[in-house]
C-alpha cells in the first residue's frame, strides 16, 4: 500500500504509489507446524529491495517493510523470506511494485448534495449560472491535500485566478447574464518538497 497517496473518501480502489512516495509491503506467511500455524509476529523476516539485502528493515517480528520509491525507476522488486525462530521452516515471496503518475479529475460540487461523484466533468462541460468545480488530485502526496507543500494554481484562459476560500480545491465559476462562449479551465498542482511530483489538468467549459 502507498502510505501517503491521496484518494477521496469512499474511493473503492486503493491508493497507488507515485514517484517519491512511501510504500509499505506487508508479509502474511502461513507456516503450519504440527496442528497449528506459526504466529506471524513470532517469525524472523529477511527483506530485500531490488535484490539487495535490507538489514535495517529485517529482523524478528518485522512482517512489514517501508521504503520510498525512486523517481528514476518505473518499479521496484521487494522480496521477503519468513522463517521460524529455529530456522526449520520458512517461506518466501516477492512482488514488483510499479508506479503511476498523479491525476486530477474535476467534479461538480453542489451546495445541497455536495460532491457529485457519479461522473467527472468532461471537456466541453456546460455551465449555467453559477457552479463550483471541485478538483480531486488522485494519488498526490502528501495525502493531506491542503498541506502547505502543495501549491495550487488555477487558470482561466491562461490568466491566474486567486482562490480566496480555505479549500483550494474548489473553484467557483459565475456566468454573466447573456454571455456565451468557451473558456479554458486549468489547474496545476506542485509539491515543493518533491520536485518530481506535479500534476496538471485542463478542460474547456462552455456557457
For the chain, 207 residues long, the average pLDDT of each consecutive 10-residue run is 90 90 94 91 96 96 93 90 95 95 95 92 92 95 90 95 86 86 95 88 95
- For residue 94, the tally of other CB atoms under 10 A from its CB is 12
Distance CA 125, CA 109 (A): 14
Quote the pLDDT of residue 51: 95
Sheet (strand 198-206) strand order: 125-126, 198-206, 182-191, 150-156, 159-161
* Helix (H/G/I), strand (E/B), else coil: 93: strand
pLDDT of residue 85: 93
Contact 141, 21 (CB under 8 A): yes
The overall longest dimension of the chain from CA atoms, in Å, is 81
Cβ–Cβ contacts within 10 Å for residue 158, how many? 7
pLDDT at 73: 82
Q: How many CB atoms lie within 10 A of CB 12?
A: 5
According to the model, what pLDDT value does residue 180 have? 85
Specify the 3-state DSSP secondary structure of 40: helix
Residue 63's pLDDT is what?
A: 97
- 206 and 184 in contact (C-beta within 8 Å)? no
The pTM of the whole model exceeds 0.85: no
Amino acid at each position: 500500500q502507498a502510505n501517503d497517496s491521496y484518494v477521496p473518501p469512499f474511493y473503492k480502489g486503493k491508493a497507488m504509489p507515485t514517484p517519491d512516495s512511501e510504500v509499505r509491503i506487508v508479509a502474511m506467511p502461513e507456516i503450519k507446524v504440527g496442528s497449528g500455524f506459526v504466529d506471524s509476529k513470532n517469525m524472523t523476516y529477511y527483506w530485500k529491495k531490488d535484490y539487495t539485502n535490507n538489514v535495517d528493515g529485517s529482523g524478528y517480528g518485522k512482517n512489514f517493510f517501508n521504503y520510498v520509491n525512486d523517481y528514476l525507476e518505473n518499479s521496484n522488486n521487494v522480496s521477503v523470506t519468513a522463517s521460524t525462530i529455529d530456522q526449520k521452516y520458512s517461506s518466501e515471496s516477492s512482488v514488483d511494485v510499479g508506479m503511476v503518475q498523479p491525476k486530477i479529475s474535476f467534479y461538480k460540487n453542489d451546495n445541497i448534495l455536495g460532491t457529485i461523484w457519479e461522473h467527472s466533468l468532461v471537456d466541453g462541460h456546460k455551465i449555467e449560472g453559477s457552479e463550483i468545480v471541485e478538483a480531486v488530485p488522485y494519488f498526490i502526496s502528501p495525502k493531506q491535500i491542503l498541506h502547505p507543500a502543495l501549491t495550487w494554481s488555477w487558470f482561466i484562459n491562461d490568466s491566474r485566478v486567486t482562490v480566496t476560500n480555505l479549500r483550494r480545491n474548489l473553484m467557483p465559476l459565475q456566468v454573466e447574464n447573456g454571455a456565451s462562449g468557451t473558456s479554458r479551465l486549468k489547474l496545476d498542482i506542485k509539491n515543493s518538497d518533491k520536485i518530481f511530483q506535479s500534476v496538471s489538468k485542463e478542460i474547456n467549459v462552455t456557457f
